[in-house]
Chains A and B, each alone.
Chain A
């Protein structure tokens, strides 16, 4: 037997994402400073021991704000994946397994919808629901991501519909729901897990972009995207503001992207 190759990508991705998630979790309960507290004496301080990422034009501690903002981005991306993933997998599983006319129609529709970039769709949905609210951002992104998850799941289920172990389960009298969730679902994980990480990244990117455009998450809620739009205006005075905010966003997406890529390699290694 060949020894399994080290999966550096997966490992680095998990460590990076784990660290960030721990920091973000910490930020939910405790930040070094109050993210909103202004301090006229500490405007535009460059990074130092007291303020690891410096301060902004109001003397607010950027590190505390980045923690809060990253929390928002992470939370929104997670809830998008949870919502879009749950509904998408449900729809994709049922249509892929049973097939028929409904399947044909839904998948044609899915083809058309997934042809559109997710940011564009999310913008349209958010303009229909009213921009600038956190709950609307989650809802819009969740809705937009359903078709892509459904499509991936559907393909996996359709290919497993008639394999031997499913047929034997059917012969033994297992119910459809048992076959769907206990027999087939665990075997689709190699396709679904990378798809979920890609969805997470797209959602994080879409949220940050919309917040940057001031139609996603807006103050008083903290958001990396909105902070970047603030930071752009004062880039010459305080380049550390944009850099620390942007690089935090990049590392979240990079970490999860590495996990997804690593998972796909894992799959490739086994086949």
Chain B
């Protein structure tokens, strides 16, 4: 319990640092948002009035404080580009990206866990080299290229969905069906990585003395793999999967563009191109929270799985 609290405090400290750095960095480069919003022809008084209204005349720390307070109450400031509150703008996009991420994560887990175990079971077999080559190839295909191919194959040739025409979350079934294809594009290289990671973890574990003992006592290999090895190999896998959650979000930044999905990633790219800093800032902090929270969750879960970690032992 104490440890859980400690981890949560660390999460808060990390997030405070990340958000402050983001805030300060974007504050430094964004120049004067008031001029940016009103254009260069605006009169001096108008700019000054807007600066006062936006609270730009306060020192950095005060502005950070009020921004942070706003973050918790859902008030993230105004978008320069859309002249809309950032929170209102981002809320539906967060939902879309979350669905995409979860779908992709599910695919990775469902595909790579059995494949990883199978390839560890038959490690050193005649097909090993070819298998490793295929695995390496899957890792080399960038999600946006897979995305282009998938949207051609399933969208144009087979007409299973209409590329670029996202149905919106009001129709959850249709939206999820649309998201299957981008999720697949994101999942492919990452699933290959997970398979390789699982394979090497399990193979390393299989070479340990307790496995030899278990086998010499007459247990069959599959049983030992399932009952003994898997539990011991699980902790690094959980950590890796948490990292995967972070990587999927990064993948979705690009893939949302390929499939024209109105999610956080597409918004981020549009805001970077349009120098819409309040939006960029909010998205960066949201994504950072996602990454750090996934890491913390993996840590806590790892301690549930492996009690040795609780007494400070190393696996």
Closest to B266 in A: A213
State whether A128 touches B25 (Cβ < 8 A): yes
Q: Tell me if B246 counts as interface (CB < 8 A to partner A).
A: yes
Q: Is the CB of A119 within 8 A of B253?
A: yes
- A112-B14, A131-B272 given; A253·B253 CB < 8 A: no
- A46-54, A84-92, A204-212 - interface stretch: A204-212
* A127/B253 contact (C-beta < 8 A), A212-B144, A214-B273, A253-B140 known: no
A212-B257, A254-B137 known; A119-B250 Cβ under 8 A: yes
Given the interface pairs A9-B132, A123-B253, the reply to whether A232 lies near B148 with Cβ below 8 Å is yes
Contact of B145 among A112, A120, A214, A249 (CB under 8 A): A249
Per-position 1/0 for B241-270, Cβ under 8 A of A: 001001101110110011000000000110
Q: How far is the CB of A150 from chain B (nearest CB, A)?
A: 18
Q: In the bound complex, do residue A235 and residue B148 qualify as a contact, i.e. CB atoms below 8 Å apart?
A: yes
Question: Would A120 and B254 be within 8 Å (CB), given that A127-B280, A128-B26, A228-B145 are in contact?
Answer: no
B205-244: contact bitstring with A at CB < 8 Å (1 yes, 0 no)?
0000000000000000000000000000000000000010
Q: Indicate which residue in B22, B141, B253 contacts A250 across the interface (CB closer than 8 Å).
A: B141
Cβ-based interface call for A8 (8 A): yes
The answer to whether the Cβ of A136 comes within 8 Å of any Cβ in the partner chain is no
Residues of B within 8 A of A12 (CB): 133
Question: What mask results when residues 1 to 44 of chain A are scored 1 for a CB within 8 Å of chain B, else 0?
Answer: 00000001100100000000000000000000000000000000
A221 CB, min distance to chain B CBs, angstroms: 17
Q: Which residues of A contact B247 (CB under 8 A)?
A: 117
Task: Assess whether A120 is in contact with B253, with CB atoms less than 8 Å apart.
Answer: yes
User: A250 contacts B142, CB within 8 Å?
Assistant: yes
For B20-32 the 0/1 string (1 means CB < 8 A from A) is 0010011001000
Contact A250 B14 (CB under 8 A): no
Q: How far is the CB of A2 from chain B (nearest CB, A)?
A: 15
B136 touches A117 (CB 8 A): no
Q: Closest residue of chain B to A258, judged by CB?
A: B136
Are A228 and B249 closer than 8 Å at their CB atoms? no
**Which chain B residues border A117 with CB–CB below 8 Å?**
246-247, 249-250, 291
A124 within 8 A of B: yes
Give residues 220-240 of A contacting B (CB, 8 Å): 225, 228, 231-232, 235-236, 239
CB contacts (< 8 Å) of A146 on chain B: these are none
Q: Are B254 and A213 in contact, CB atoms less than 8 angstroms apart?
A: yes
For B149, what are the chain A residues with a Cβ–Cβ distance below 8 Å? 242, 246
Name the distance in Å between A243's Cβ and chain B's nearest Cβ: 8
For residues 114 through 131 of chain A, which have their beta carbon under 8 Å from a beta carbon of chain B?
Answer: 115-120, 123-124, 126-128, 131
> Is the CB of B173 closer than 8 A to any CB of chain A?
no
Q: Is A261 an interface residue (CB 8 A)?
A: yes
B269 near A215 with CB under 8 A, answer yes
Instruction: Report B-chain residues with C-beta under 8 Å of the C-beta of A209.
Output: 142, 144, 253-254
Residue tally, chain A, CB below 8 Å to B: 41
Q: What range describes how many residues of B lie at the interface?
A: 35 or more
Are the CB atoms of B148 and A246 closer together than 8 Å? yes
Cβ contacts under 8 Å, B129 to chain A: 8-9
Contacting pair A250 B145 (CB below 8 A) = yes
Inter-chain CA distance A245–B152, complex, in Å, is 16
- Chain A residue nearest to B284 (CB atoms) is A124
Once A116-B246, A128-B25, A213-B254 are accepted as A-B contacts, the answer to whether A249 and B142 lie under 8 Å apart by CB is yes
Q: State the CA gap A208–B144 with chains docked (Å).
A: 9
1/0 per residue, CB under 8 A from A, across B261-294: the answer is 0000000110011010000100010011001100
A257 at the interface (CB under 8 A from B): yes
Q: Are B133 and A242 in touch, CB under 8 angstroms? A: no
Instruction: Tell me whether B246 and A115 are in contact (CB under 8 A).
Output: yes
A127 to B273, CA, bound (A): 8
Q: A9-B133, A254-B136, A261-B132 are in contact. Are A115 and B272 (CB under 8 A)?
A: no
Q: Output the least CB separation between B267 and chain A (Å).
A: 12
The CA-CA distance from A249 to B149 in the complex, in Å, is 14
Closest-by-CB residue of A relative to B294 is A115
Q: Within the complex, which residue of B17, B29, B140, B268 is in contact with A254, where a contact is CB–CB below 8 Å? A: B140
Closest to B268 in A: A123
Can you list 25 A-B contacts (CB < 8 A)?
Answer: A9-B132, A9-B133, A112-B17, A119-B250, A119-B254, A120-B287, A123-B269, A123-B272, A124-B22, A124-B280, A127-B275, A127-B280, A208-B144, A209-B253, A212-B144, A228-B144, A231-B148, A232-B148, A246-B145, A253-B139, A253-B140, A254-B140, A257-B136, A257-B139, A257-B140
Q: 8 closest pairs, A vs B, by CB?
A: A117-B250, A254-B140, A246-B145, A253-B140, A127-B272, A119-B250, A209-B254, A120-B250
Not counting A209-B253, A213-B253, a sample of 4 additional A-B residue pairs whose C-beta atoms are within 8 angstroms of each other reads: A117-B291, A236-B152, A250-B140, A254-B140
